[in-house]
Amino acid sequence: MKRTVAIAANFTIEPISATLEKYFSRLGVDHEVQFAPFDQIFQQLIDPSSSFHKNRSGVNAIFLRLENLLDPVENGLENLDALLRALKQIRRLKRAIVPVHLRAL
């Protein structure tokens, strides 16, 4: 069975594609990696037609730079509150979510 890894991030994440391909190939896992458009985390969590909602045979991963999310100029606390509400919503659908925080270098 093909496993889907659906990924959403608030920064450019696509460069990890080659590493993921090698990793899953070495494990012998039939897989497909799907990247959401840049900075579309909320949309992936809320939209019933998103890859996160359609993913029935894999994992959904969210890669976050909290510095980007909590930017006071961009309504940081409101963004965090919206993210938590969206995570609760998709949790009700019993989908796996793997939140990952990466610090800016």
The average pLDDT across 63-73 equals: 72
User: Domain holding 51: CATH number?
Assistant: 3.40.50.1110
- In tens, the pLDDT along 76-96 reads 667 777 777 777 766 665 555
Domain, as residue range, for 54: 3-101
Q: DSSP code of 99?
A: E
Strand order in the sheet with 31-35: 31-35, 3-9, 58-64, 97-101
Domains identified in the chain, total number: 1
Confidence at residue 26, expressed as pLDDT on a 0 to 100 scale? 92
The mean pLDDT of 50-76, rounded to a whole number, is 78
Please, which residues have CB within 8 angstroms of residue 92's CB and are 6 or more apart in sequence?
none
Predicted local distance difference test score (pLDDT) of residue 63: 87
